[in-house]
Amino acid sequence: MLEFRDIAITDKERINAALNKSQFMGCEYSFANNMAWKRLGDSQISFYKDFYICCSFRSEDGVPRFFFPSGEGDYREVISEMKAYSEKLGKPLRVAGITEKTLQMLNEVFPDSFSVSTDEGDWDYIYNTQDLITLSGRKYHGKRNHLAHFNKLDAEFKMMTENDFNDCITFSTIEYNNRNEEHDHSYIAEQYAINTYFTYFHELGLKGGVIRIGGEVAAFTIGDQLNNETFCVHIEKADTKYDGIYAGINNCFAKEAAAQYKYINREEDLGIEGLRKAKQSYHPAFLLKKYIVTFK
């Protein structure tokens, strides 16, 4: 029977070995993300032979949400173990993070055994890295204008070092405290994630970028390698009183941190209209469709 527990930094080698075998493109297949965002969904982890399994135990209907296992081996066997665990809890097995390819495999291995749903808010925005670096063509005319405004600022971009950590934490804390919205669970989980990224920055293999204006942090961003072709941006914060600041941090970081990768994953929009509009404005190469299956 599977056993679940909290993720720890000491799990990095084993989890990354499984992730590297699968080469999945979804943002949830990142050790750094699993470590940092565990409070958002009360996530815990388990291993089965050469598979890594992450499960979110927080849900509106009380049904745990497993993520499709990464690693290698007999998928019929590992899914059956997950199903047995769910049945012991008195719940149906629900599996998320499923792409077109893995959905096809599940249909072949477990035909007519589950229902399928999807939410566009969970789809990842995948960009051609060179598009975000060059901003070439008519479709990026507006972005080049934003970047021109940024270039008029007396701003300095540098790759992040330990000397920036405290200032960036303070910057994100001030932003959190100044929110007009109620500080719900997701905002609290985000603060935990940001602090985790800084606490284990080097151990997680993260890269970060910082923009300072007048010596003060005006924007910062953090990401890391997702698979052999893809870099993933996990956090991006900026002070919008500076015109073009988001265009600036996006472009500078792509050039300095992700130029060697074919794609940049800028994660999902969570169904938030403003976030969706912003992500669409950068013209993704494609959206990585992700499905949820619930076994009968």
For the stretch 200-225, pLDDT in tens is 999 999 999 999 999 999 999 999 99
Give the DSSP letter string of 264-295: EE----TT-HHHHHHHHTT--SEEE--EEEEE
What pLDDT was estimated at residue 254? 98
Q: What is the C-alpha separation between 128 and 283, in angstroms, rounded?
A: 9
For residue 265, what are the CA distances in angstroms to 27, 33, 148, 233, 250?
7, 13, 24, 6, 12
Span 125-267: which CATH code? 3.40.630.30
Domain definitions of the chain by residue range: 9-123, 125-267
What pLDDT was estimated at residue 248? 98
Q: Which residues pair with 34 in a beta bridge?
A: none
How would residue 181 be classed by pLDDT, with cut points 50, 70 and 90? low
Q: Which token pair is 253? A: 């970081």
**pTM for the predicted model, two decimal places:** 0.95
What pLDDT was estimated at residue 115? 98
Give the DSSP letter string of 90-152: T---EEEEE-HHHHHHHHHHSTT-EEEEE-GGG-EEEEEHHHHHH--SGGGHHHHHHHHHHHT
B/e letters for 54-77, b = 16+ CB within 10 Å, e = fewer, are bbbeeeeeebbbbbbbbbeeebee
Confidence check: pLDDT of 125 > 70: yes
For residue 17, what are the CA distances in angstroms to 11, 36, 174, 264?
10, 19, 37, 21
Q: Stretch 258-280: mean pLDDT, rounded? A: 96
Cβ atoms of residues 175 and 240 within 8 Å: no
Confidence check: pLDDT of 67 > 80: yes
Q: What is the C-alpha separation between 296 and 290, in angstroms, rounded?
A: 20
Confidence check: pLDDT of 180 > 70: no
Q: What is the pLDDT of residues 232-251, one digit of tens each?
A: 999 999 999 999 999 999 99
What pLDDT was estimated at residue 185? 82
How would residue 283 be classed by pLDDT, with cut points 50, 70 and 90? very high
What pLDDT was estimated at residue 279? 97
Chain center to CA of 195 = 16
**Which CATH class for the 9-123 domain?**
alpha beta
Sheet containing 216-227: which strands, arranged edge to edge?
A: 155-159, 207-213, 216-227, 230-238, 263-265, 124-128, 286-288
Q: What is the C-alpha separation between 60 and 73, in angstroms, rounded?
A: 32
Mean pLDDT, the chain, integer: 96
What pLDDT was estimated at residue 63? 97
Backbone angles phi, psi at 157, to 5 degrees: -100, 135
What pLDDT was estimated at residue 183? 60
Answer yes or no: same fold for 9-123 and 125-267: yes
